[in-house]
Amino acid sequence: MSNAEGAKIASKEKHSAAIASERAASIFKLNILQSHIEDEPNNTTRFLILSDQEIAPSGNDKTSIVVTTKNKPGAIVDLIQPFASRRVSLTKLESRPSKIGMWEYVFFIDVEGHKNNPKVKLSLADLEKKSSFMKFLGSYPKN
C-alpha cells in the first residue's frame, strides 16, 4: 500500500482519513486537515488502520504498544523482561525522542500474539507496572 492508495481508500470510506501528499488530496478531492506533519526529514511510513472495534484473535496476530520508562541503567531490560520470561517474541523495539526532555525516549514495541493470549496478557500487565506510561495500540492479524 502507498500513501496515494490510502488517500484513494479514504476518499471512498466515510469517516476516514489518510496521510498523503497535497497532490493526492487534490486528485481524490480530500480536505487537508493539517499540512507538513512530518517532524523528521528522514521519516518512514508505517501503514495502520485505526478503529475503536476490538479485533478477535486470528491465530497469527501481532500486538503493538507504546511505552516510556525512567532514564536509568537497565531500563530497556526492564521493558523486555516480561516478554522474555514468557517466551513472547518481540518483532519490533524502536525508540524515538519523547520531546519532553533530554534523553527521554518513547519505545514502540510489537510482539507476536494477540493481547488475549495468556502469555501476552501477563507480559503486558507486568510491563504496565514497570513503565512510566504504557498505551495499548492494538492487536491485529499479521498479514
pLDDT at 143: 75
> Residue 126: CA atoms inside 13 Å, Cβ hemisphere, count?
17
Active site residue 28: no
- The one catalytic residue in 45, 91, 133, 136 is 45
Going by the DSSP 8-state scheme, the letter that residue 13 receives in this structure is S
Active site residue 45: yes
Ranked by mean pLDDT, the top range of 66-70, 98-102, 117-121, 136-140 is 117-121
- The one catalytic residue in 47, 91, 133, 136 is 47
Q: DSSP E strands: which ranges in the chain?
A: 61-68, 90-97, 105-112, 133-141
Going by the DSSP 8-state scheme, the letter that residue 57 receives in this structure is P
pLDDT at 45: 67
Question: Domains in the chain, please, with CATH?
Answer: 1-47 (no CATH), 61-141 (3.30.70.260)
> Model-level pTM greater than 0.85?
no
Contacts of residue 67, defined as CB under 8 A and 6 or more positions apart, other chains included, come to 79, 106, 107, 109, 127, 131, 133, 134, 135
